[in-house]
């Protein structure tokens, strides 16, 4: 598509359940990023993919969080045993992956854990 | 470590007023600097960027100059419009790619007619 597409746009889940968030990057973009935006915390970097590998996972907040990317395209962010503090907007972004390229963001997946 | 500090909002201005949103940074190496904007109900968009000292980024009437001596990248616009109402984020990245953007906490701007 024309931009970064994320789904679902909104998700309400019960505490303790697992959730999966999906990101479709811009076609041809080799770099893919996940960020989290929450009140009081601003925008936090979670993980970065170059192709299917993740050279930087430094931002994942706990081992309940994982992400994968297949075929150098779609990525899934999985949160296991969700907690209320996981409530946030999860933003995906992509770029052509070369220095100086612009990073394009999706509109985010709003996650609410009740 | 690397960090970005920007002025806290909200900032409320009248149309045609002058805007400054301050941003300072701490970084190892030579960062690239960015301003992103998030309009209501929309995703983050790159507003402007500067990749080396003394560069000036500009777009849509907004400007910011990369000042290495003061480690600053303040956003300015001479005459704001109601349509500029949004949240503005200063960000940096270091290293050879544009990965791992580090953001400030954002400044909400409201422009009144």
Residue A21 in tokens? 């968030």
Residues 52-81 of B with CB under 8 A from A: none
- Find chain B residues with C-beta within 8 A of A102's C-beta: 46, 49, 98
Residue A11 CA, distance from chain mean position: 14
pLDDT higher than 80, residue A100: no
Nearest to B94 by CA among A3, A53, A45, A106: A45
From the list A3, A42, A99, which residue is nearest B97 (CB)?
A99
Average confidence (pLDDT) over B18-41: 92
Q: Do A91 and B44 touch (CB under 8 A)?
A: yes
In this structure, of A15-29, A92-106, B79-93, the range with the lowest mean pLDDT score is A92-106
pLDDT exceeding 70 applies to what percent of chain A?
Answer: 96
Rounded to a whole number, what is the distance in Å from the CA of B106 to chain A's nearest CA?
7
Average confidence (pLDDT) over A25-34: 92
pLDDT higher than 60, residue B98: no
In chain B, how many H helices and how many E strands? Answer: 0, 12
> What is the per-residue pLDDT for A1?
53
Tell me the per-residue pLDDT of A17-28, one tens digit each, with 9 for 90 and over.
Answer: 999 999 999 999
Average confidence (pLDDT) over B38-67: 93
Query: In which band, very low, low, confident or very high, does the pLDDT at B96 lie, cut at 50, 70 and 90?
Result: low
Mean pLDDT of chain A: 91
């Amino acid at each position: 598509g024309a931009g970064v597409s994320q789904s679902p746009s909104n998700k309400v889940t019960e505490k303790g359940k697992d959730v999966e968030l999906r990101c479709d990057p811009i076609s041809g973009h080799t770099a893919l990023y996940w960020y989290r935006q929450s009140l009081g915390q601003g925008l936090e970097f979670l993980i970065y993919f170059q192709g299917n590998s993740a050279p930087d996972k430094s931002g994942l907040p706990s081992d309940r969080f994982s992400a994968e990317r297949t075929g150098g395209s779609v990525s899934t962010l999985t949160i296991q045993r969700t907690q209320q503090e996981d409530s946030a907007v999860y933003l995906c972004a992509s770029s052509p992956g070369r220095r100086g390229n612009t990073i394009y963001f999706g509109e985010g997946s709003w996650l609410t854990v009740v | 470590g690397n960090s970005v500090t920007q002025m806290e909002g909200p900032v409320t201005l009248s149309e045609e007023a002058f805007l400054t949103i301050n941003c300072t940074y701490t970084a190892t190496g030579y960062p690239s600097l960015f301003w992103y904007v998030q309009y209501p109900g929309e995703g983050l968009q790159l507003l402007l960027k500067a990749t080396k000292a003394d560069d000036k980024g500009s777009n849509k009437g907004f400007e910011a100059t990369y000042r290495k001596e003061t480690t600053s990248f303040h956003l300015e616009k001479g005459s704001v419009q109601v349509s500029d109402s949004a949240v503005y984020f200063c960000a940096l990245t270091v290293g050879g790619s544009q990965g791992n953007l580090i953001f400030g906490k954002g400044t909400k701007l409201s422009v009144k007619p």
